[in-house]
Structure 1
Amino acid sequence: MNPLEQLSLADLRARRSAKWARYEPDVIPMWVAEMDVPLAEPILTALQEALTIGDTGYPGSWPMVDEFVAFAARHWGWQVEPSLVVPAASVISAYVEAFVEDVAPGEEVVITAPVYPPFTTYLRQAGRVVREAPLTDDLRLDLDALETALAAATAPADGSTERRKAGLLLCNPHNPGGTVHTREELTAVAGLANRYGVTVVSDEIHAPLVYSGAEFTPYLSVPGGETGIAVQSASKAFSLAAMPAAQMIVGTERAAWLGEFRKGAHGHPTYLGSIASTVAYRDGDAWLASLLVGLEANRDTLRAFVAERLPGVTVSRNAGTYLAWLDFGGTVAAGGRDLGGEPADVLLAEGRVALNQGTHFGGGGAGHARLNFATPPAVLAEGLERIASVVVAK
């Protein structure tokens, strides 16, 4: 059964998580990356059993790493050496810890914008300088722009002839818009990174959410990727944001680095997160397959609606993820009001539908908004009708 068809709007409005609690009850929330689904039955059963016996201590013997390794082999043909995997508190904490290890305060990390806002906020909070390498208009990697950014980030400081250390934080599949980077693109990225001596961390949290006609390629599996770091988690594919857990995987040429990294003080998954992730990787394939069918149908509904009912709006193709990127540059509000740089503000005020503000995603975000389509078809339809009631073509 499609998990997206199991909950009603009334069921969802009873939730107190961020997606459903932030706005007033008359708003259709289509913003933060929470899915409107029940827990997969195997995960629910495992958590209920743990709670029933009060098994809520520190992380224990759940084999999350081993089940991740098996999941990666089944789904992507990626053979991961378990000794190169470290459990992590979350994807965000893992990539921050990796760059804190490799990139000194005041040095730069390159991101490909527009991109997930915490790429910027958490790195800056850690004292690293963020430099943007813009994506193309269709949200693909721009290798020329990326090389320009890497060259600038590693350029020798005044009075020095040695290149500075820098990092590159990838998002694959990309958030927003769901671009799934190809093996050829990632191989080219690895070549540039190794040429400039840059540490690549690939955020692959959406890796299980790739649709028919596309294929996820792990960064560490491409030629040159052996020097990189990847971060994976079951949290987005199985809707487990309340129970953080992640895995940091390092390339084969980072074994010594990992040995030193393990000696430091780093975050660990929550115990319930390790239970949920282990069961998701081990027993969640059938549920995930049903979810993907439902998400792909919602994606197609969104694209058809935009084409037929929202002239002046363009929408991402979304080969993966449930986070679409809408460009409102060809529209105005129905009364003639300009949407300005934040169409989401007007949509909320006049249509009572909540999307993410585009400028939060960095360069290229003005005039755009992000829409979460991981919701029941009836809720998606209502949200889209509300958008259509607000905007018209210029």
Structure 2
Amino acid sequence: MTRIPHATSGEPNPLRILSLDHLRRRTSVKWRTHPADVLPLWVAEMDVPLAEPVVRAVSEAMVLGDTGYPSGTAYAEALAAFAEQRWGWDGLAVERTAIVPDVMLGVVEMLRLVTGPGDPVIVNSPVYPPFYQFVAHLDRLVLEAPLGADLRIGLGALEASFRQAVAGGRRAAYLLCSPHNPTGTVHTAEELSAVTALAGRYGVRVVVDEIHAPVTATGTDFVPYLSVPGAESGLSLMSASKGWNLAGLKAALAIAGPAAAADLARLPEEVGHGPSHLGVIAHTAALTDGTAWLDALLCGLDANRRLLSDLLAEHLPAVAHRPGEGTYLAWLDCRALGLGDDPAEVFLERGRVALSPGPHFGSGGAGHVRLNLATSPEIITEAVRRMAAALA
């Protein structure tokens, strides 16, 4: 596959436009959960203005009164074109897609298609907390296959979990996070090929959350799971939500590999009633006309990753941190600070910085925090300064 590298778009860095006063006027969960003296660097919302093509598309729909139910395949066609241009993947077949309300609800529906109540679902801990919550609510059993010390997929642990999962002839699924949240790891083609081989050997179905796919560091290639030979029975969930900050405009796509088309065809028709029509319009506009904005964002995130590394080295040298290859999240190992299992609680109470608590991410999360880098350099700088002061 031929991939298009990140380009310099000429657009301004979206992370350097909005002031803290402007951001505090927002009413979403990021800005309303904590008091006004807290810097919120926790939930995955970005401190950016929306891309102009998205604003224009949604505004035009509002003027038209085009606020009914979603219809058609424009979203899937836009994602297919984006995938071919961005990742060199021409295998996203529109006829093997289905619109779903969002990625996690899509994950639930895919797991319903390939597993039954009580069946195991393997996850790579530490991992996005809703993986545990949604799977448990679905009446499936979460089975952890911990990441390795290098924060990459541990194939030995994964095979052991697969073997355990299918013991006694049970059905099982592997819920893969790619790129990985919270570590920012972007799985390589070789790693994904090893996953497909193991899944094929043990008869485990793979469902992939690829919501952060558009967000990778310069020099890092995202590999769509369904583009890997051997992944034909996989099911993927994709969205423009994270790349363009559209979480409040609900829409995502379920994508089936060729051997999973019959599974996706069993998706209940009413699932497609859940997405927002305005969400579909926004996501389609982002994928079609928002790539220059995305490139500017990615350059800004590259700079923020370097800034965070420098700030930690200067002010919190005991915190271990590997800059992520993808996502806009940073996974900080604070165990050397002696703050217990939940350093986020200390940083919130003493430093007035809200971070995501590591224990929420499952095994391997104790003593860690997740920090959201998708904000201004000034806010990151002030947050690290406050975190350091909290230890004084």
Shift of 1:256: 2.2
Shift of 1:252: 1.0
Distance across 1 between alignment mates of 2:281 and 2:272: 20
The CA deviation string for residues 277-315 of structure 1, in whole angstroms up to 9 with x for no partner, is: 010010011000000000110011011111222121011
Aligned to 1:260: 266
Shift of 1:61: 4.6
Q: 1:176 to 1:51 in 2, by over 3 A?
A: same
Shift of 1:68: 0.8
> Is 1:306–1:313's contact at 8 Å kept on the other side of the alignment?
yes
Aligned to 2:341: 341
Secondary structure of 1:304 counterpart: helix
Distance across 1 between alignment mates of 2:263 and 2:116: 16
Q: 1:252 to 1:62 in 2, by over 3 A?
A: closer
> Is 2:100–2:271's contact at 8 Å kept on the other side of the alignment?
no
1:177 and 2:200 matched = no
What TM-score comes out, normalization by structure 2 length?
A: 0.95
After TM superposition, the structure 1 stretch with the greater mean CA deviation from structure 2, 284-293 or 46-55, is 46-55
Secondary structure of 2:341 counterpart: coil
Aligned to 1:242: 248
Distance across 2 between alignment mates of 1:253 and 1:71: 23
> Is 2:205–2:233's contact at 8 Å kept on the other side of the alignment?
yes
Aligned to 2:39: 28
Aligned to 1:8: 19
Aligned to 1:373: 373
The CA deviation string for residues 313-358 of structure 1, in whole angstroms up to 9 with x for no partner, is: 01132001111110111114xxxxxx11100000000000000010
Secondary structure of 2:242 counterpart: coil
Letter of the 1:216 partner, please give it. F
Secondary structure of 2:122 counterpart: strand
Distance across 2 between alignment mates of 1:68 and 1:345: 39
Shift of 1:88: 1.1
Letter of the 1:256 partner, please give it. A
Q: 1:2 to 1:194 in 2, by over 3 A?
A: same
Shift of 1:154: 0.7
Distance across 1 between alignment mates of 2:390 and 2:270: 52
Distance across 2 between alignment mates of 1:266 and 1:97: 11
Shift of 1:266: 5.2
Distance across 2 between alignment mates of 1:354 and 1:30: 6
Secondary structure of 2:335 counterpart: coil
1:151 and 2:163 matched = yes
Q: 1:172 to 1:265 in 2, by over 3 A?
A: closer
Letter of the 2:111 partner, please give it. F
Distance across 2 between alignment mates of 1:317 and 1:380: 14
1:105 and 2:109 matched = no
Picking from 162, 167, 174, the partner of 1:168 is 174
Matches within 5 A, 1:307-318: 307-318=313-324
1:52 and 2:63 matched = yes
> Is 1:62–1:275's contact at 8 Å kept on the other side of the alignment?
no
Secondary structure of 2:267 counterpart: helix
Shift of 1:265: 4.8
**Unmatched segments (≥5 aa) in structure 1:** 157-162, 333-338
- After TM superposition, where is structure 1 displaced by more than 3 Å over at least 4 residues in a row? 262-268
**Unmatched segments (≥5 aa) in structure 2:** 1-11
Aligned to 1:329: 335
Shift of 1:267: 5.2
Matches within 5 A, 1:69-84: 69-79=80-90, 80-84=92-96
Shift of 1:261: 2.8
The CA deviation string for residues 51-106 of structure 1, in whole angstroms up to 9 with x for no partner, is: 22322111135711111110110100111111111111110011111111111101
Aligned to 1:300: 306
Aligned to 2:236: 230
> Is 2:73–2:94's contact at 8 Å kept on the other side of the alignment?
no
Aligned to 1:42: 53
Q: 1:360 to 1:66 in 2, by over 3 A?
A: same
Q: 1:255 to 1:60 in 2, by over 3 A?
A: closer
Secondary structure of 2:161 counterpart: helix
Distance across 1 between alignment mates of 2:119 and 2:183: 29
> Is 2:132–2:142's contact at 8 Å kept on the other side of the alignment?
yes
What TM-score comes out, normalization by structure 1 length?
A: 0.94
Aligned to 2:213: 207
Letter of the 2:294 partner, please give it. L
> Is 1:138–1:316's contact at 8 Å kept on the other side of the alignment?
no
After TM superposition, the structure 1 stretch with the greater mean CA deviation from structure 2, 279-288 or 306-315, is 306-315
Shift of 1:152: 0.4
Letter of the 2:378 partner, please give it. A
Picking from 43, 65, 80, the partner of 2:76 is 65
Q: Kindly report the root-mean-square deviation, in angstroms, between the aligned alpha carbons of the 2 structures.
A: 1.3
Distance across 2 between alignment mates of 1:176 and 1:259: 32
